[in-house]
Amino acid sequence: MSSQEVAQSEEEQAWQATPNRVVLAIDEQAKSFYSEGRLSRARMLYKKLVRMRPEASQFWAMLGIIHRRQDRIVQALQCLQQAVELDSGNRNALVNLGESLVLAGKIEEGTEVLRAVYDMSRVEGKSAQEQDVFTKRAGAQLAILKEIADAVISGEIQVQHKDLGESP
């Protein structure tokens, strides 16, 4: 291992040695910034939190959500995917990943993720209003996507294809 790699490894170990009390305080401040709409400040703190606790799915998810809200879709997808890899049951990360995939033009993949969240979370016998927030949100997004698909199929909406330099 080169001296630069050793230094980087030691730096990461130092970040990860941050006491839990400090991590909790930074998380509270990051949440406060987020709720106040101070997204750049919140993003800065969540970047630090993922260095301190790289195994914490919720920090990766929040960083991804902030990236998405700031129209950084590629970074959002990377963070949200990391959150889901760390915790496949993190429905907040999953819903946001599905929505971000749709925004990125990966409609089929996004729809599959949203459908999975809806299916895993929906409680039989409860009305739509009685479902939890993630189930409601995934269901609402699926309904919107269905309406758009139906409108495209019926010819009400014309789809223009952009050449993104990729093959179909």
Domain ranges of the chain: 9-54, 73-154
Q: What is the DSSP letter of 162?
A: P
Query: pLDDT per position in the chain (168 positions), as tens?
Result: 777 776 778 888 988 999 999 999 999 999 999 999 999 999 999 999 999 999 999 999 999 999 999 999 999 999 999 999 999 999 999 999 999 999 999 999 999 999 999 998 888 898 878 888 999 999 999 999 988 888 878 887 776 655 444 433
- 46-96-50 Cα angle (round to 5): 20
Query: Is the CATH number of domain 73-154 1.25.40?
Result: yes
Residue 9 token pair: 């490894």
Instruction: Give 55: exposed, middle or buried? Use CB within 10 Å, 0-12, 13-18, 19+.
Output: exposed
